[in-house]
Amino acid sequence: MAKTKQFTIAVENRPGAVAEIAAALGNAKVNILALLATAQGTSGTIQLTVEDTKRARKALDEAKLSYQETIAEEYELPNKPGALAQTLGKLASKGINLNSIHATAAKGGKKAVVVYTVESNVKAATAA
């Protein structure tokens, strides 16, 4: 488990909106580690974590993109049935309420990665 920063960017729901953000970060040599984009109606939200938050901030600022930065937890767990439920159950038993969560694993891979944020007035706790 590692603390990281999650960037949340509000975007217009239109073709190319996510590509523009990916290009701004890619051109600045920022590696995106996790990304979740959702849309509803004419607007959307992108949540992402990166390898180099300082470089990401600079790239987003130079692209004149508004963003919110939140402390997040990145947690690696086994890629097997029930692993996510077990991890989330441990957080719930500690009274941790998640504000956002996204997870991914490669098919056949041994590990999955979960990124989550918690309520700002609650200290993040590990699921381990």
Model pLDDT, residue 122: 41
CB atoms within 10 A of CB 15: 6
Model pLDDT, residue 1: 66
Model pLDDT, residue 83: 94
Q: Which segments of the chain does DSSP mark as H helices, in order? A: 17-27, 53-62, 83-93
pTM (two decimals): 0.84
Model pLDDT, residue 31: 96
Identify the structural domains of the chain with CATH numbers, from first to last. 2-70 (3.30.2130.10), 72-118 (3.30.70.260)
Q: Quick one: average pLDDT of 106-113? A: 90
Report percent pLDDT > 70 for the chain. 92
Res 11 pLDDT > 60: yes
Q: Quick one: average pLDDT of 84-97? A: 93
Q: Which residue has the higher pLDDT, 21 or 120?
A: 21
Residue 119 pLDDT grade (very low, low, confident, very high; cuts 50, 70, 90): confident
Residue 82 pLDDT grade (very low, low, confident, very high; cuts 50, 70, 90): very high
Given strand 68-78, what is the order of strands in its sheet? 32-40, 43-50, 2-12, 68-78, 111-118, 98-105
Lowest mean per-residue pLDDT among 40-49, 63-72, 76-85, 113-122: 113-122
